[in-house]
Amino acid sequence: MKAFKPHLGGLPSYPYQGVEAPIKLDQNESPYDLPAEIKARVVERLAALSYNRYPRLHAEDVRERLSAWLGWPVEGLVLSPGSNLLIQALAQAASRVLDVAPSFPHYAFSARIAATPYQAVPLEEGFALPLKGLLRAMDERPGVLFLANPHAPTGRLFAGEEVACLAERAGETGWLLVIDEAYHQFSGSNHMELARSNPQVALLRTFSKAFSLGGIRAGYLMASPEVARVLQNFVPPFGLPAHTAQVLLAVLEAPAYVEGVVRTLVAERERLYQTLQAHPTWRVYPSQTNFLLIRTPDAAWAYQGLLRWGILVRRQDHYPGLEGCIRVSVGTPEENDRFLQAAFALAEVPHA
Ligand SMILES: *Cc1c(COP(=O)(O)O)cnc(C)c1O
């Protein structure tokens, strides 16, 4: 391993283990596939595509369409195969990375592989934003502050005034505040106006969640033209595959289905939340996303118990402050019924 930079030795792999189960509620995917009419249009487009030709250099065709749909300048858009790649690019470009804890693990992981100095400020009581701690950390040498809002893995939406406070400080100090809006459709929130009025604020978006395109791999950054120009250099030339581009073009012609997905999942999320209030031993936290964080007496026991019912969830108990916690994606109404049935049945089983 002498060929590689010393900091890469002993690096842990990304913390995910694929497990098969009939009811998959572990990755916050949409339980609904892309509508069949749009899929059919994609298939037509793919049949007409010349597979021997490279796609556009920087996905210009999709970025133009996205720009019109969002009302965001095309010079400020960077598209990539998954927003995870943009997180890596930001961590690589950053002088330092600031985060909260617990957080989306890819921020810390990306800083680590890039050997970028990393600091995380713990969330406060009740998963509140540690505003003072973050502002204090921002007094030092500027870098990139990642903030998922709505937040993962707690599902909480931080208040607009608090985020505006961080944005203002970023504007004064030269920090770049990157707001990861992976779940924004499920909260009805968005920070577009904040980003429009402040070039030190950038937004990360993904097609993996509300757009129901986890398998297609596409995400984008909305930023100032200056920030976008730097980040674009980290996405390899011709980096957005031609088939991904065709799916996105078809979806952006008929994006109305997303509203239906969001409406159903938000209603189901609230039904799960309300029903679980009656659970004798589990405590469910309010969520503005398509998943619920649940504190159980024993996460390993809850995970295994649910798996015996054919339901796969994600353990979160390795995070400080999330002892006993599991994370459950909102599924179809039938999947959620089954989950509720299992959750209440497990409460009847004596804990080994
Ligand atoms: C799911 C998720 C993403 C999406 O990553 P992709 O690479 O676009 O699939 C980004 N940020 C957070 C916080 C997420 O939960």
Nearest alpha carbon, ligand 1 atom 10: 182
Residue-level pLDDT at 289: 98
Is residue 200 located within the same domain as residue 91? yes
84 close to ligand 1 (CB < 6 Angstrom): yes
- Tokens matching residue 163: 């985020």
Same domain, 94 and 214: yes
179 lines ligand 1 (CB under 6 A): no
pLDDT of residue 293: 98
Distance 87 CA to ligand 1 centre (A): 9
Residue with the nearest Cα to atom 12 of ligand 1? 182
Task: Verify that 141 and 174 share a domain, yes or no.
Answer: yes
pLDDT digits (tens, 9 = 90+) for 278-317: 999 999 999 999 999 999 999 999 999 999 999 999 999 9
**Is pLDDT above 90 for 341?**
yes
Q: What pLDDT sits at residue 17?
A: 82
Instruction: Check pocket membership of 182 for ligand 1, CB cut-off 6 A.
Output: yes
Residue 45 sits in the same domain as residue 144 = yes
- Residue 176 has a pLDDT of 98
Q: pLDDT-derived band of residue 350, with 50, 70 and 90 as boundaries?
A: confident
Residue 125 domain flag? yes
Q: Considering only CA atoms, which residue is closest to atom 3 of ligand 1?
A: 182
What element of type H or E holds 155? Answer: none
- What integer pLDDT is reported at residue 352 of this predicted model? 60
Q: Residues 243-264: pLDDT tens digits?
A: 999 999 999 999 999 999 999 9
Q: Assess whether the C-beta atom of 239 lies below 6 angstroms from ligand 1.
A: no
Q: Which of 222, 253, 284 is the last residue of a domain?
A: 253
Ligand 1 touching residue 148 (CB < 6 A): yes
**Centroid of ligand 1 to alpha carbon of 83 (angstroms):** 6
Q: Region 129-137: what's the mean pLDDT?
A: 98
Backbone angles phi, psi at 231, to 5 degrees: -65, -30
Q: What is the mean pLDDT of residues 4-12?
A: 88
Range of lowest pLDDT (8-17, 139-148, 338-347): 8-17
* Gap from CA of 206 to ligand 1 centroid (Å): 6
Q: Is the confidence at residue 14, as pLDDT, over 90?
A: no
Answer yes or no: is the C-beta of 208 below 6 A from any ligand 1 atom: yes
Could you say which of 253, 286, 316 is where a domain stops? Answer: 253
Q: By the 8 A CB rule, do 315 and 326 touch?
A: yes
Q: Averaged over 214-232, what is the pLDDT?
A: 98
- State whether 102 and 198 are in the same domain: yes
Residues 249 and 264 in one domain: no
Ligand 1 atom showing the smallest separation from residue 209 Cα: 1
| Selection from 153, 207, 158 nearest residue 179 by Cα | 158
Q: Say what angle helices 333-348 and 299-308 make with each other, to 10 degrees.
A: 120
Residue 224 lies in a domain: yes
Query: What is the CATH classification number for the domain harbouring 201?
Result: 3.40.640.10
Same domain, 169 and 90: yes
How many whole angstroms from 89 Cα to the centroid of ligand 1?
14
Distance 86 CA to ligand 1 centre (A): 10
Residue 323 near residue 298, CB atoms below 8 Å? no
Predicted pLDDT at 266: 98
Q: Is residue 351 part of a domain?
A: no
CA of 82 to the centre of ligand 1 (A): 7
235, part of any domain: yes
Per cent of the chain over pLDDT 70 is: 100
Instruction: Report whether residue 206 contacts ligand 1, using a CB cutoff of 6 Å.
Output: yes
Query: How far does the centroid of ligand 1 lie from the alpha carbon of residue 259, in Å?
Result: 19
List the CATH number of the domain containing 20. 3.90.1150.10
Q: Under a CB-based contact definition with an 8 Å cutoff, are residues 335 and 25 in contact? A: yes
Distance (angstroms) between ligand 1 centre and the Cα of 181 equals: 9
- The answer on 319 and 249 residing in a single domain is no
Please indicate, yes or no, if residue 89 is contained in any of the structural domains. Answer: yes
| One domain for residues 198 and 282 | no
Residues 65 and 187 in one domain: yes
Atom of ligand 1 nearest to the CA of 28: 1
pTM, to two decimals: 0.97
In-domain check, residue 1: no
Distance (Å, rounded) from C-alpha 341 to C-alpha 272?
A: 11
Q: How confident is the prediction for the chain on average, in pLDDT? A: 96
Give the domain-ending residue among 197, 218, 253. 253
CA of 88 to the centre of ligand 1 (A): 12
Instruction: Give the number of domains in the chain.
Output: 2
- Is residue 110 domain-shared with residue 144, that is, in the same domain? yes
- Kindly indicate the confidence band of residue 162, based on its pLDDT and cuts at 50, 70 and 90: very high
Q: Domain of 293?
A: 6-30+257-346
Distance CA 342, CA 311 (A): 9
Residue 69: which H helix or E strand, with range? helix 60-70
Asked whether the predicted pLDDT for residue 11 surpasses 90, the reply is: no
191 shares its domain with 165: yes
Q: Is 83 in the pocket of ligand 1 (CB under 6 A)?
A: yes
Give the model's pLDDT for residue 51.
96
| Residue 120 CA neighbour count, 13 Å, CB half | 18
pLDDT at 99 over 80: yes
Picking from 140, 89, 92, 147, the residue whose alpha carbon sits closest to that of residue 114 is 92
